[in-house]
Chains A and B, each alone.
Chain A
Amino acid sequence: MYDFDFIRPASVEDAVAALATDPEAIAFSGGQTLMPAMKQRLASPSAVVSLTGIAALKGLRDEGGRLWIGAATTHAQVAREAADSYPALASLAGRIGDPSVRARGTIGGSLANNDPSACYPAAVLGSGATVVTDRREIAADDFFEGMFTTALEEGEIVTAVIFPRPARARYEKFRQPASRFPLTAAFVAQFDDGVRVAITGASEGGVFRWTEAERALTGNFAPESLDDIAPPDAEGMISDLHGSGAYRAHLVKVMTRRAVANA
């Protein structure tokens, strides 16, 4: 790692100000993805602005029936504290990485990075959650803009995520055992006005909604509803030594079916 300046502000305002004064500075929220990238010199910021000292960015609370989660809340805390209020989300958080990674990695960091195989983007898109930043609220459908790309502007910090709570939901992950990321995973959530299905780990475009499955499951929320639906086109799916695009496309349907069955 090249050296960098290190700033650990106590407020969101100070963090935003630090990022605004230095275009080469980077927001750092646990660093379980960013640190390995910096060690490989894939990222070499002039300054690291750590968000872990900002109390206002931590914790979970009920907000008019919706679940508010501070952006610097760790996966371990979500796994523990959302177990009653949003079990499918807690289950997802409890399967990210390993216990040590879950003790440092945060929901905001995961979303801002938008790894095409990360777990949290599936929950946020699949729940139709709202991403709150220091300057605005962004609907999940508008937040994810492709592999490692989001609607965040330069220097904009995710401060919270607000989840509506579905009647039923489930995350099913086909785990790549070495990286512990999903090879492909599906987040399925049933709301009063319809079903949302979000897929991660499959598309070169990052997390996406599988709308054909959503339509079928809105009609009848049962695994059989997927019987007559073809998996998404293998074209545009991630293809690497762990699995071909066609294999991942097949997994999309398998994991969606499992999620519905276990919701």
Chain B
Amino acid sequence: MHKVSMTVNGRPVSGEVEGRTLLVDFLRVNLRLTGTHVGCDTSQCGACTVHMDDQPVKACSVLALDAEGADIATIEGMANADGSLSTIQQAFQDYHGLQCGFCTPGMVMAAAALLRETPRPTEAEVREYLDGNICRCTGYHNIVKAIMAASGQEVVPVAAE
């Protein structure tokens, strides 16, 4: 076993892990932060997306020990300090950007990473950025609308509707 330390949602944490322990398992099992989901475990679906030093990563494809010293943000850290939903989370609710909700933590984290890089993305940029996040319920249109709304832009009917 190895000791690992990192910052998760602003809080210093540490734990004992194996070499093979995935970051997502450290978050879910050691820290009991089960908001980060495991969808495919093969880095295809993006349900496990978290931020590592302000960049989106698939937590199923990062070793916990490789995140030593890193600053990690998960869906549990997304809400406002008073517990109300963040702008992005509220937009997902307002625009019905989820159905079963399994992909939603990853979608919200991907959206937050996008809006940090590109505060006012085009619809095409939103769709391209969500390339690595799979949703099997919504058909993506409402997710795209939610992200456009969260960026403060006008929400227009999307092309394929």
Contact = CB atoms under 8 A, between A and B. Distances in A.
Interface of A: 1-6, 8, 28, 31-32, 35-36, 38-39, 47-48, 50, 52-53, 76, 97-101, 103-104, 180
B107 to A, nearest CB: 12
A161 B66 CA distance: 23
Centre residue among A76, A98, A99 by max chain B CB count within 10 A: A99
Contact of B19 (A6, A101, A104): A6
Contacts of A50: 63, 65-66
A100 B46 CA distance: 8
B62 A2 contact: no
Interface in B1-47: 2, 18-20, 41-43, 46
Nearest to A51: B66
Contacts of B18: 3
Contact of B61 (A5, A32, A47, A99): A32
27 contacts: A1-B20, A2-B20, A3-B20, A5-B19, A6-B2, A6-B65, A6-B66, A28-B66, A31-B61, A35-B61, A35-B63, A36-B42, A38-B20, A47-B19, A50-B63, A50-B66, A53-B68, A97-B132, A98-B46, A99-B110, A99-B113, A100-B46, A100-B110, A100-B132, A101-B61, A103-B55, A104-B58
Contact of A99 (B20, B56, B65, B66): B56
Contacts of A53: 68
B49 interface: yes
Main SS at interface, chain B: mixed
B131 interface: yes
A182 B46 CA distance: 20
B91 interface: no
A56 B113 CA distance: 27
A104 B57 contact: yes
A180 B131 CA distance: 9
A234 B150 CA distance: 49
Contact of A101 (B2, B20, B58, B65): B58
B132 A103 contact: no
A3 B62 CA distance: 15
Interface of B: 2, 18-20, 41-43, 46, 49, 52, 55-58, 61-63, 65-66, 68, 110, 113-114, 129, 131-133
A103 B56 contact: yes
Contacts of B62: 31, 35, 104
Nearest to A98: B132
A3 B19 contact: yes
B49 A8 contact: no
Contacts of B131: 98-99, 180
Contacts of A1: 20
Contact of B132 (A38, A76, A101): A101
A4 B2 CA distance: 11
A38 B61 CA distance: 11
Nearest to A2: B20
Contacts of B68: 8, 53
The 10 residue pairs across chains A and B that have the minimum distance between CB atoms: A98-B132, A6-B19, A103-B55, A98-B131, A1-B20, A4-B19, A6-B65, A100-B58, A100-B56, A3-B20
B103 to A, nearest CB: 13
A4 B43 contact: no
A150 to B, nearest CB: 23
A219 B113 CA distance: 46
Contacts of A8: 65-66, 68
A100 B57 contact: yes
Most buried by B among A8, A38, A180: A8
Nearest to B59: A100
Contacts of A6: 2, 19, 63, 65-66
Contacts of B2: 6
